[in-house]
Structure formats: C-alpha cells, structure tokens
Structure 1
Amino acid sequence: MQSMEMKKPICLIANTVDNILQCNPEALEILRSISQPVVVVAVVGRYRTGKSFLMNQLAGHKSGFSLGSTIQSETKGIWMWCVPHPIKPNETLVLLDTEGLGDVEKGDQTNDNWIFALSVLLASTLVYNSMSTISNDAVEQLQYVTELTKYIKVNAEGDQTEEAALYAGLFPFFVWTVRDFSLQLVLDGKPITADEYLENSLKLKYGDTERIKRFNLPRECIRKFFPGRKCFVFDQPTSPRNMSKMEQLSDSDLSADFLQQAKEFCNYIYNEGKIKTIKEGITATGKFLGSLAVLYVDAINSGTVPCLENAVSALAQIENSAAVKDSLSYYKEKMSQDVSFPTDTTEELSDLHGNYEKEALELFMKQSFKDSDHQYQEELKRSVKAEYESIFLKNEEESTKRCLSLLQQLYTQLEKKVNEGIFMRQGGYQQYKGDLEGIVNQYKSQPRKGIKADAILLNFLGEKENVGTSILNAEKVIAERERQLAVQRIRQETMERERRAAEEEQRELQQRLAQQEKANREMMERCRQQAEVERQKCIAAQNAVLEAKLKEQQASITAVFQNETKCMETQIQDLRHQVSYSGSGSDCVIL
C-alpha cells in the first residue's frame, strides 16, 4: 500500500496502569502497509494544553484525537493518525498525539521522560505545546530535554560528550506552540516575530553561578539538540465558557485570529515538515517507523537505553531479512506461475530462473537497508540458488515420472507378449526389435516429456536389452534345439528304418520258419499218418494173432474152467454131505 487514510486515530504505544509501554499490533500493521516516506509530526507538552486540537487541525478534522473537557488527561501513551499528505502526494503524514506530561494522577517522572524520548526518536517534527508565554517557568517545564542523553544514545560505544554533538543532526525539527497567548510581540519597543520571541527566550546568561547554570541548562539543551526551531503563538480560540466543547464548535464560533494562526501553523507543517530520516540520512517509510517503535519500546522495557546506532543495525537486520523474504517469495511465486513441469529443455528453466532472479535482486535493492557488505544480498542469492536447485530437481523428477509412466504405458502390450512367450521362436528377436522400435518412435513423438526424456529412454532401453538378449539367446537355444531335434529326428528315422527293416527281416524269417515249420508239420503229419497206417496194420496183424491166441486161450481156459467147475461142484456136494451129517447129531443144520 502506497498511502492510506485512517478514519480515526489508533493507539500506537499504550501506557498501561503499571506504566509499562506496549506497541499495538493493529497500529504496527497499518504502518507496515505504508511504503511511502512518512512525515512524522509528534506533539508533546503538559496535559490540558490543547495538543490534540492541533493534531486534529493537521489531520483536517474537527474531531479525532480526544480533546477532553476535564482536568483529567484523556490521551494515554502515544496515539497515531495516518493521513495522505495534503500537498505532497508521494508522502504520508503521520500524526502522533502523546500523553500529557506532568499528569498528577500518574506521578511518574521516568515514564514522562520515556514518552518524551519516544516522541523525539519517532518524529521528524516535534511540536512542544505550552500555555500563555515562553517564560522561565515554561522553559524549565521542558526539563525532559535536559534528560535526553540519559534516555537516548547515538552510538553503541563512546562517551556522552562525543555523542552530544551528533544529536542535532538526528533530532527532529522543533516547533514551540504557545497557546492562549495574550501579550504583544514587542521587544525593546520594537515589534518582533514569534521566532524572535522564542530565540530571545532561549538566550543564555553570562556567569557561572549555580542559579545561572540552572537558568542556562534547559536553554543550552534546546539550542544544542534542536538547532532547527520555529515558534507559533495562538490567541485564545473562543470564550472560556466554550473551551469545554471545542469539538462541537464551528469555525464561526472560533476567533478569526486563532483560525488564521492555526492555518499558518498547518501550512508551515505541510510545506516545511521534513520526511523522517534516521542515522546516515536514511529515509523512513511507514514500515520503518513501525519497526523503530518496536525496537525502542523493547529496549525501554528491557531496561536499556534506546540507541540510534543499534536501532539502525537492528532495523537493517529486520528490513533486510524482510527484503530477502519478500524477494525470495517473489521469485518463488513467479517461478511457480510460469514454470510448467516438466520443461522441454534446461535452457527454458534456466532462462526463467535468470529473469526472475534478476527481478528478485532488483526488488531486494529497492527494499534493502544498509546492506553495505552485501551480506543479505548474498543470502538472497544463496536462497534463490537453493530454490532453483529444488525447482530443477522437481523438474527432473516430474520429467522422470512422466517419461517412465509413458514408457510403461507404451510397453504394456509388448510386455504381455514377452510374458506369454510369443517371441520365444525362430524370428522372435527381429519381431521384438521391431515392436520395441515402434514404442521408441511413439515415445519420441509425445510432447512435454521434459529434460530427462533421452536419459530415461536410454536407461529404459538398457533395462530392456536383457529382454532382447534373452529372446535372442532363447532363439539361439531354440535353433540349436531344433538342429539337435533334426539330427535326432534323422537318427530316429534311420533307426526306425533299420527297425522296420529288421522287423521285416524278422517277419520274413518268421514266415520262412513258419513255412518250414508248416512243412515239417505236414511232413511229420504224413509220417505220422503213414506210421499210423503202419501201426494200424501192425495192430491189426497183432490183433489177429492176439485174437487167434485169445480164442485159443479162451478155448483152453474154458476147458480148464469147466474141469475146475466140475471139481468144485464135486467138492461142494461133498461138503454139503458133511454138513448134513454133522447137523443131525448136534441139532445144527447147515444149508
């Protein structure tokens, strides 16, 4: 954001009930959004002196900063109102209204000193507001100036005397506004300006008495610390009875002289108010101002004295670290937007890297702050290099993934054929080579493969070389096996022919044997038959002889048998006679 206009003020640095200072994150965020140089006008002074009214006038509003209408202090801590600069469009006007000094309710001089010191540290124009006149009492009331060297250091090392000479170049322009001024600007009977009135009030007295030293001390401090000075005097704006309702009054209710004086004051601030600078003349933006507020408050809360040199170093670290972060984020965002993974060539990615690295460095140079030794610039270069290496690796990874996926997709069908053993035959290797070459051609024709396309293809072909070798070897084995099978087949055919010849010979032999056997059987049968005939003849002859002998024997036997039969019958008759005789004497009968 270049500039902004807040609708109302916001607390920048809160002052708690324990008088602990705290930066408001919301206000810091507003400041960080302002990249324009800032003109910072801070108003300090006793409470109930009309400081807030002047800030509202500078903001171009009747209300905003609380004016208050009682004896109690309204503003606590430091409040901020950022508005577009009325006449300088390239600058932002930052108005700081501070807690009233010398609040009897607070009763803490140290806290007042810190509020005053912070106003001096943050402002480019410091408005000190007092009432009635620039009297000795009014000058002495500006006692906080005499304590500045205790609450602000210029250098981290060195004595206060050496530092005192440096304050003038670093402190804000000093404007003293005198409210309800009722005197005549006349000195020694001659009219004088408000500036002359201020300078006359700051004149030193000669002498070295304690009283004169006390008189000169605040004047010396103001003259030493604030060489650039301006004074405005204001008439009473309205009647005392209307002072409690200033926010409700229109311009017609206010004194014409007061309105003119307020206008002159505002015009002076608008035209002459300088941009806030820090040590070595470095211009402060809203972001710088917010960082300074944090650094100073942290230093105060830690019990140390805010040091301008340390603040610059710390601010340089904060801003340069932020510049490195922003520039690196810019590089990452641009590369993320324009790099389409995977790139076709390394040069495509390298060219984008070179362009956005240059732009990131240019952005860093605009945002960097006191990077005199180029420490943060080198850090940015290293970070960009590391990011580029990461992007380069991702580009390779994306290319690798895409190429592998494509090759796997194209190789699926061929792999299926390999697994099914289609190429395990004569001529299979040439067919495999042809199919693989077709895959390579399809692969090469696909766009957006990235920088690893050739390497992945070579690696892929190297991996598949084993498959081709296996197919070739298998083909050789198959050829050798077929040769061996052919030889074996020839041998088997020869052996088969020999076997068939042997079988034929065996059959012929068997046939001859069978014929011989048949002839033998027939011969034997004829011999048998002849023998049988001869045997039958012999048997018949023998039978005839036998029969004759039998007949002769039968006749002989018959004769013998007849003789014997007769003998036996005779014997039987004899026996019967004996039995019959014997039985009659013994009462036994044998039949």
Structure 2
Amino acid sequence: HQKWSQMATTEFMKRSFQDQEGKYKVDEHYSELLGENASSSEQRCWQLLSKLSKDLNDGRQQGEYTKPGGYAIYCSHRDSVISHYQSQPGKGVKARDQTHRRIILTTEKQREKAALEEQQKKALEEKHKELQRAQQVEGKRHEERMQQMETKFEEEKRLQVEELERAMQRKLAEQEDLIKKNYHEKAELMRQEIDQLKDEIGNNSQSFFQQTVLPLIDTGVDVFSKILHFKLMKSALKVSPV
C-alpha cells in the first residue's frame, strides 16, 4: 500500500511541478485513491468474512452453540475464522477494522442469544419443579383423604355387621322358640331369613372400600393429576422459545 501511494504521489508531482496548486491537486487525488482503496478493501473483507463465517453461521442457526458448553465451542470456531481470515492476502487497509466490526457484532448477538436461552431454560426448569411440587402435595393429600375415607368406611361396615349379627341372634332365638312350639313351617322360613343374614354379614366382612370405592377414587385422582400436569406444561410453554 505504501509503495503504490509513493508512486502515485511521485507521478502526480511530476505532472504538476509547474502548477502552483500542484500539491493541492495531488492531495485531492490522493484522497480519492484512498477512498476507492478503502471501499474496495471493505467490500473484499466482507466477502471474505462472509465466506469464512458460513460454518459458524450454520452452527448458530442449527443450535449447536446453545447446548451445554456451546459458547466455548462458538469461541473456538470464531477464533478459527479470525485465524483463517488473517492469513488471507489482499485484504487492503480495512482488514483489521472489518474483522473487529463483524466479529464483535456476531459475538454480542451470540451472547445475547445464549443469555436469553439460559433464562428460558431456567424458567422451564422452575416450571418442572413446580409441577413436581404440586404433584407431591396432591399425592400427600390423596393419601390422607384415602386414609380418612377408609377409616370411615371400615367403621360404618363394623357397625353394620354388628347390627346384622344382633338381628341374626334374635332370629335364631325366634327359630328355636318356634321349633320348641312345633311351628316347623315358620321355623323353616326363619331359617331362610337367618341364612340371608349370614350372607349379608359375609359380604360385609369383605372390604367394599378396597374392592369398589378405592379403584374409582384412584381413577379420578389419576385424571386430576393429568389435568394438573397439562395446565402446568401449558404455562411453561409461554416462556419457551417461539
């Protein structure tokens, strides 16, 4: 660059040595040459950087640098681009300026994107923790409700069985009295009633709560848990990338 500048200056000085304004004309044309040289250099630098940065841009668009440790990978690829760029000849006077402008710009954008994605990642993690806490709380409440309901059912069943047993004892006493009085037909009817009471007592001795009520409640709780999970995940999507 200095060699060509000296040659241009010498040439124009030869042509304008009798001109009182020769120095001014040389300076003016020299400035024009510098402007053209700078413009050409800038265009060449941007073209070269665009070509060398293709893999870097592709990696950014594909999300390669947003994964854990992605920013360190990005810096390594960026430094490789700079190294290749600096080794290329013919860049001109704007070589250093364009490198700094483009690299600083892309680095800042990448930092902003990484910071935003980290923020979104933390928001999603918090939503996931919120979902887990809500499910744990609901699970504990479900267990407590099941325990209370089972206790209540078992108590009601016990009282019902006791009442049936007392009724059966009365029927047995009546049957015995009918037999003693030779009321055999009535005694037979009484026996049938007693057998029916025995069946009822046998049925009540089995846990109606465990066999019938609990499965229905568990189904309802499972549906509720899925609805809760859906609502929280829907809320989490509001902070996820669009």
* Contact residue 426 and residue 475 of structure 1 kept, 8 A: no
Query: How many residues align structurally?
Result: 184
Relative to structure 1, is the Cα distance of residues 535 and 498 closer, same or farther in structure 2, using a 3 angstrom cutoff? farther
Other-structure match for 1:516? 155
8 Å Cα contact 2:9/2:30 also seen in 1: no
Aligned to 2:47: 405
Return the offset for 1:470: 0.6
Q: Structure 1 446/422 Cα, relative in aligned 2: closer, same or farther at 3 Å?
A: same
Match of 1:442 in 2: 84
**1:403 Cα deviation after fit:** 0.3
Question: What SS class does the counterpart of residue 458 from structure 1 fall into?
Answer: helix
1:360 paired to 2:2: no
**CA–CA distance in structure 1, aligned partners of residues 76 and 112 of structure 2:** 16
User: Partner amino acid for 1:444?
Assistant: Q
Consecutive unaligned residues in structure 1, runs of 5 or more: 1-344, 366-373, 545-591
Partner secondary structure for residue 63 of structure 2? coil
1:17 corresponding residue in structure 2? none
Question: 2: CA distance between counterparts of 1:540 and 1:430?
Answer: 99
Letter in 2 for 1:460: R
8 Å contact kept, 1:424–1:475 = yes
How do 1:89-238 residues align onto structure 2 when only pairs under 5 Å count? none
State the Cα distance separating 1:467 from its structure 2 match: 0.7
Q: Is 2:3 the counterpart of 1:348?
A: yes
Q: Is the 8 A contact 2:42 2:95 kept in 1?
A: yes
Given that residues 407 and 443 in structure 1 are in contact (C-alpha distance below 8 angstroms), is that contact kept between their aligned partners in structure 2? Answer: yes
Residue number in structure 2 paired with 1:4: none
Counterparts of 1:21-36 in structure 2, within 5 Å, are none
Equivalent in 27, 38, 45 of residue 396 of structure 1? 38
The CA deviation at 1:427 is 2.8
Task: Provide the alpha-carbon RMSD of the alignment.
Answer: 3.7
Distance (Å, rounded) in 2 between the aligned partners of 1:525 and 1:481: 60
CA drift of 1:428 comes to 2.8
Residue 520 of structure 1 deviates from its aligned partner by 2.9
Distance (Å, rounded) in 1 between the aligned partners of 2:154 and 2:122 = 50
Distance 1:405 1:535 in 2: 112
Aligned to 1:299: none
TM-score, scaled relative to structure 1: 0.27
Distance in 2, matches of 1:493 and 1:539, equals 67
- CA-to-aligned-CA distance 1:102-153 (integer Å, 9 cap, x gap): xxxxxxxxxxxxxxxxxxxxxxxxxxxxxxxxxxxxxxxxxxxxxxxxxxxx
Q: Confirm or deny: 8 A CA contact 2:8 2:30 kept in the other structure.
A: yes
Deviation readout 1:367-388 (Å, 9 max, x if unpaired): xxxxxxx4xx245554444333
Cα pair 2:53 2:81 within 8 Å, conserved: yes
Alpha-carbon distance in 1 for matches of 2:72, 2:113: 9
The residue identity in structure 1 corresponding to 2:8 is: H
Q: 1:497 to 1:381 in 2, by over 3 A?
A: closer
State the alpha-carbon separation in 2 of the partners of residues 500 and 480 from structure 1. 25
C-alpha change, 1:507 and 1:358, in structure 2 (3 Å) is same
Counting strand residues as a fraction of each chain, which structure ranks higher? 1
Query: Are residues 517 and 393 of structure 1, via their aligned partners in 2, closer, same or farther at CA, if it must alter by over 3 Å?
Result: same
Per-residue displacement from partner, 1:162-202 (whole Å, max 9, x unpaired)?
xxxxxxxxxxxxxxxxxxxxxxxxxxxxxxxxxxxxxxxxx
* CA distance in structure 2 between the aligned counterparts of 1:539 and 1:378, rounded to whole angstroms: 154
Q: Equivalent residue of 2:65, what SS?
A: coil
SS in 2 for 1:500: helix
Shift of 1:349: 3.0
Please tell me whether the aligned partners of residues 13 and 26 of structure 2 are also in contact (alpha carbons under 8 angstroms). no
Unaligned runs of 5+ in 2: 184-242
Q: How does 1:426-575 map to 2 (within 5 A)?
A: 426-474=68-116, 476-478=118-120, 480-481=122-123, 484-485=126-127, 489=129, 492-533=131-172
Query: C-alpha displacement at 1:535, in angstroms?
Result: 6.7
What is the rounded CA distance, in whole Å, between the counterparts of 2:89 and 2:56 in structure 1?
A: 22
Structure 2 counterpart SS, 1:450: coil
Bigger radius of gyration, 1 or 2?
A: 1
Greater RCO, CA 8 A, separation 6+: 2
In the alignment, the residues of structure 1 paired with residue 100 and residue 31 of structure 2 have an alpha-carbon distance, to the nearest angstrom, of 24
**Identity across aligned pairs (percent)?**
18
User: Does the Cα contact within 8 Å between 1:424 and 1:474 map onto a contact in 2?
Assistant: no
Q: 2:28 aligns with which of 381, 386, 407?
A: 386
